[in-house]
Amino acid sequence: MAEETDFPLPPANFLFLVESILMQAQMQLGLLNFGEKDDKPEPNLPLARHSIDLLAMLQEKTKGNLSTEEQRLLENGLTELRFRYVQIAEEEKRKNSPITVVEEKKKEDDRPLIITADGGKGTKTE
């Protein structure tokens, strides 16, 4: 005997399969946040790339066998995901580059200095 759910299940069709993988890739790219407002999830680029590759494989294997709606969803979804992937990969690269660390240090050094009697050397004078 099958268990009944409290909500109707979506149809098991190609559109739902593509939408499911698109949603997974968006989550893996850190584009969807189901938690706190300021709690942005970290992207998992290798996993997102795998999902994008999976969709590309589906596109190739189903070429000529899709309805217009299915083809558009797959093409538009892949285009958007590929664009976002490149965008996020570049952001991650910039965030983790040594230049960024130096720039952050420079920002810290730009803060106002407190001049003391010893000329800012931090030694005590008596």
Query: pLDDT tens digits, residue range 10-25?
Result: 889 999 999 999 999 9
User: Is the pLDDT confidence value at 1 over 70?
Assistant: no
Averaging pLDDT over each range in 53-57, 113-117, 119-123, which range is the top one? 53-57
Does 59 fall in a domain? yes
Give the pLDDT score at 27. Answer: 93
Residue 122 lies in a domain: no
Question: Chain-wide mean pLDDT for the chain?
Answer: 83
- Residue 97: per-residue pLDDT: 79
Q: Please list, in sequence order, all residues whose beta carbon lies within 8 angstroms of the beta carbon of residue 72, skipping any fewer than 6 positions away.
A: none
Range of the domain at 38: 14-109
- Identify the burial level of 62 via C-beta atoms within 10 angstroms of its C-beta, where 0-12 means exposed, 13-18 middle and 19 or more buried: middle
Domain contains 93: yes
pLDDT at 34: 76
User: Is residue 37 included in any domain, yes or no?
Assistant: yes
**Would 38 be classed as within a structural domain?**
yes
What's the total number of domains in the chain? 1
- Provide the b/e sequence for 8-31 (b: ≥16 CB within 10 Å): eeeeeebeeebeebbebbbbbbbb
pLDDT band at 104, cuts 50/70/90?
Answer: low
Q: pLDDT tens digit string along 30-88?
A: 998 777 767 778 899 999 999 999 999 999 999 999 999 999 999 999 999 999 999 99
Is 118 inside any structural domain? no
94 CB-side CA count, 13 A: 7
